[in-house]
Amino acid sequence: MLDTLGIYRRLKQARASEAVSREIAAIFGDFVESRLATKQDMQESQNQLVLNLAHVEKELTVKMANLENDLTVRMTDLESALTVKMTNLENTMTVKMTNLENTMTVKMTNLENDQTARLTGLEHQLTTKMVGLEKELKVEIAHSRVETLRWMVGMLLTQTALLLTAFKLF
């Protein structure tokens, strides 16, 4: 602290007037109280700053721990949500694949039934045509036999007539 009384006495001894001495001492006193800082004031400020810094550091550590915890919780929540979505997607895909397999099985069965029905129809048509062709062939064979027999009879008659003519000539 500044000794304003000492300043006043020194100014009085230097033969300054009492009013001037008081005013100068008051100015120094006001100046020291409002503007100057002593080593003790500086030490107290430093101590206060160290305390404030420690308090801020502690608050930051707590906030960082809270942020880490929040981040861990959010990551866990996101992982859980992602797992649920993946499971739902897998289930949906499984259902869709099963539906596709069932649809394919039904379509394959229908296609096989259609093909079987077509084959049966074609077999029936083929059998019917074969029976018809067989009958026609039998008729044609019988007709050919008759024609062949007629031709043979005709040839025999012709040969007989030729022989008779040859005997008559000789």
Which tens digit of pLDDT belongs to each residue from 92-142?
A: 999 999 999 999 999 999 999 999 999 999 999 999 999 999 999 999 999
Give per-residue pLDDT as tens, 25-76. 788 777 777 766 677 878 888 999 999 999 999 999 999 999 999 999 999 9
Whole domain around residue 15: which residue ranges?
A: 1-36
Same domain, 22 and 59: no
Mark out the alpha helices in the chain (DSSP H runs): 4-13, 18-34, 39-169
For residues 81 and 4, state if they share a domain. Answer: no
Residues 158 and 86 in one domain: yes
Residue 146 CA from chain centroid, whole number: 84
C-alpha 21 chain-centroid distance: 90
Termini Cα distance of the chain: 190
Distance of alpha carbon 121 from the chain centroid: 49
- State whether 49 and 84 are in the same domain: yes
Q: Is the pTM for the entire model greater than 0.85? A: no
Residues 49 and 132 in one domain: yes
Tokens coding 112: 């096989």
